[in-house]
Amino acid sequence: MRKPVIAGNWKMYKTIAEAVDFIEKIKPVAAKAEHCEVVAAPPFTALAAAAAAAKGSQVKISAQNCHWDKEGAHTGDISTVMLCDAGCTHVIIGHSERRHDCGETDEQINQKVKAALAAGLTPIVCVGETLAERERGETEKILERQFTAGLAGLTAADFSRIMIAYEPVWAIGTGRTATPEMAAEAHRYLRGLARQVFGEAAADGIRILYGGSVKPDNVGGLMAQNEIDGALVGGASLKVESFTALVNYPRG
């Protein structure tokens, strides 16, 4: 069985004190939430303090990006070794905001995934089409390219250690959510790619999270889909009340 994951991507929000306060408040929520894993992704500056606050609890700490080199002349970048040192267990890789704001390529994403795996981190690898690509009927083509290039060279054992987040770009931060059926269709396609490339067991085991304007009032419908194994949430993960409601999503 695939254990669902509710992950909050805090993007460029929260000071160190705000992050620690949030983690302290969410710890008892995560402790009671045996049905899912809880992950929070603070900005770099708050990672170490958030991880110290989360230590020994059910809250896992994720970074939002990493570099592929262990160290080097890369001004402004952070390596996977540094993320482990700060107490991270997960790292979001290839978020559409980084693909679009920073021009991240599938090849760079692939290098980051490999570096994260080598460091013992769990990569949360984001894929998703833009509105124009969906309207041109290219959703599957884009997902195939991002999946194949982003995960090139991984073994089935490597693949069993990652999570995928399907995040249609047109649904991120727009209030426009994919319907549960649309999301499930994309997840089914991605799981099919996983079956072709990594085999049956890998496809059955991979957790595919949905991301894109997930809120307390739509999370139940999304999580009711067998294909949807969790949510990667931006805006609604920033308040303790809404993140708590997401973790305690309606279950049948």
Residues with catalytic roles: 95, 167
Number of residues near ligand PEP (by CB under 6 A): 13
Cβ at position 49, least distance to ligand PEP in Å: 21
Residues 64-93 that bind ligand PEP (CB under 6 A): none
- Round to the nearest angstrom and report the end-to-end CA distance of the chain: 16
Q: What is the DSSP-derived secondary structure letter of residue 79?
A: B
Is residue 9 involved in binding ligand PEP (CB under 6 A)?
yes
Identify the CA nearest to 10 among candidates 32, 39, 49, 53. Answer: 39
Which CB sits closer to ligand PEP, 165 or 206? 165
Residues 208-237 that bind ligand PEP (CB under 6 A): 211-214, 232-236
Residues 169-198 that bind ligand PEP (CB under 6 A): 172-173
Is residue 42 involved in binding ligand PEP (CB under 6 A)?
no
Tokens 């991002």 found at:
146
Which residue is at the shortest CB distance from ligand PEP? 234
Which of 167, 190, 193, 246 contacts ligand PEP by CB under 6 A?
A: 167
Which CB sits closer to ligand PEP, 203 or 247? 247
Specify whether the CB–CB gap between 193 and 151 falls below 8 A.
no
Specify whether the CB–CB gap between 78 and 113 falls below 8 A.
no
Q: Which stretch binds ligand PEP (CB under 6 A): 12-20, 48-56, 136-144, 206-214?
A: 206-214
> What is the Cα–Cα distance from 190 to 209, expressed in whole angstroms?
11
Q: Which amino acid, one-letter code, is at 144?
A: E
Cβ at position 243, least distance to ligand PEP in Å: 11
> What is the Cα–Cα distance from 161 to 124, expressed in whole angstroms?
10
Cβ at position 246, least distance to ligand PEP in Å: 10
Cβ at position 211, least distance to ligand PEP in Å: 3
Specify whether the CB–CB gap between 241 and 215 falls below 8 A.
no
Alpha helix (H) residue ranges in the chain? 16-32, 47-54, 80-86, 96-101, 106-119, 131-135, 139-150, 156-159, 180-198, 200-205, 219-223, 240-247
Which CB sits closer to ligand PEP, 42 or 235? 235
Cβ at position 229, least distance to ligand PEP in Å: 15
Binding region for ligand PEP (CB under 6 A): 9, 167, 172-173, 211-214, 232-236
